[in-house]
Amino acid sequence: MYIPPGPSLINLPKIPDDRGNLSFLENKSHIPFDIKRVYWIYDVPGGEAWGGHAYHHSCEIIIALAGSFDIVVHSGKRSQLFSLNRSYFALLVPPLHWKTMQNFSTNSLALVVSDSHYDPNQYIRDWAQFKELTNV
């Protein structure tokens, strides 16, 4: 599967059931990479923000499993805001995109699926360096 050059929303399967709904994702059929790591962000106080960095090479998929939050994704040239509040939408954030998660609702749960193992050297934390890397 092709990794788009910019952020994109993926519509995941949603199986309605009398007991509720079920959604899922599988390597390569719903997301364009093999999963190497999954982490989740929770207990974020309402209204709080998280993040503010980019990765050199890692690609991530973010899902609001519960509650809602906004994600601002900056390519270095333009900024896009995505409001996630349904667990069947997944936001794909490609490498070299600055991601800030904000406006968390109380008791929200953010699931992040990554194509890489955790590596602090993947992080770009300096905005000036990010602008330099993306303004090529």
Site residues (vs ligand TYD, CB under 6 A): 37, 39, 51, 53, 118
Q: Please identify which of the residues 30, 53, 57, 117 carries the catalytic annotation.
A: 53
Q: Which residue, 77 or 117, has its beta carbon nearer to ligand TYD?
A: 117
Q: Which residue, 51 or 76, has its beta carbon nearer to ligand TYD?
A: 51
Whether 56 is catalytic is: no
SS3 content of the chain, % helix, strand, coil (to 5): 10, 45, 45
> Minimum distance between the CB of residue 11 and ligand TYD, rounded to whole angstroms?
25
> Minimum distance between the CB of residue 48 and ligand TYD, rounded to whole angstroms?
12
Our measurement of the distance from residue 20's CA atom to the centroid of its chain's CA atoms, rounded to an integer in Å, reads: 25
How far is Cα 29 from Cα 79, in angstroms, rounded to an integer?
Answer: 28
Closest CA to 93 of 31, 20, 50, 26: 31
How far is Cα 93 from Cα 74, in angstroms, rounded to an integer?
Answer: 10
> Minimum distance between the CB of residue 120 and ligand TYD, rounded to whole angstroms?
7
Q: Provide the annotated active-site residues.
A: 53
